[in-house]
Structure 1
Amino acid sequence: MNESIINGLTSSLLILQALLEKGAKYLVVQGTPLAGCLPLTMYLAPEDDRDDIGCVKSANDQSNNHNLMLQDKLQELRKQYPHAVIVYADYLNAYRTVMKNPNKYGFKEVFRVCCGSGDAPYNFNVFATCGTPNATVCTNPSQYINWDGVHLTEAMYKVVSNMFLQGNFTQPPFDFLLENKERNG
């Protein structure tokens, strides 16, 4: 396991534990997304490092490993703080669901960025990113998953958040948190 993943996870868990010690009753903890699907990662990784959805396999494997460790630690926190509702938002699998069927969610551009350099194949160049003088912005950002190579578009964030709030991508379901909050304040 990558040491930076373990260190990042450890500091995140210390923050969560501090919140719970201070009396937090309702927490939503988001897992990491598919880092291997970001155009920056794809731009930097070798072409032969791809998974079944065309993203960087090694980066997505790290994201998945991080999330598995996080879920184990959240289960420990649930036992340690039974008064709290700790919801895990499965960003990785929500993102993956969109990537497997982008048209269903209104996306036409899966890997190209909306705001970028014009360089093929991602409209991305690490030396000419969004905001630099030669960068251009697409006219239809709601059809793009990626805004600038590192950030997603508002449309993608909306789809993923709806998957959290109304779908099966939180454990326990988000409705459980809301019902518990209504009952217990």
Structure 2
Amino acid sequence: MNKQPNQPSGRLTDDQLLQIGNRIYTLRKDAHQTQEELANELGFSQANTISKLENGQGITLDKIIQIANYYHVSYERLIDGTGHSYVLDILTKYINFESFHYSNPDIDSNTHTLPIIEINTKLYETLKKIALAQSIKDLPSKLKEEWINQIKEEFMNPSIETEKTDCSSFIIVDKSILEKDDCQNNNIILKLIEACESSSN
């Protein structure tokens, strides 16, 4: 059977290969690395391998995977510029973790290191709405899906841009602690909350 003239070959064009090379170049420059340093990091025996890749030469699937994994970006982002970097890189725009050192002689003589999470308030409110929608068991699945998609759409396309500094802070507490229903445990939790609130003022 003859191949149709307009049938795609499945191979990348020279222009696409050059664009991939440009993305590799950008990733390396953003990381403040020389071509030799990147070649050593990736275990390439020839020092000019990176130069060839950045010029769109010798690009193979295994090299794309290797470089994408090294720089923690998605394969799609490296191949065609779409997609995102890894989830953790995306979330750093909205979520931040800090350590809070807390001591209280009423509890014990130790200094405790507590994990504090700061989350963009708009994202937090969005997650609350999604959790509410998911918790309504009698809501038809189709309607629930449409509602959640609308909530996500509102977050991704806000009518007014929110400040990046608008964050809400939370103490991260193990669920097993909250399940202990005793006065001493509740007293400790209240004191931790009071301490965190006073430190943020």
Q: With structure 2 as the length reference, what TM-score do the two structures score? A: 0.23
**Larger radius of gyration, structure 1 or 2?**
2
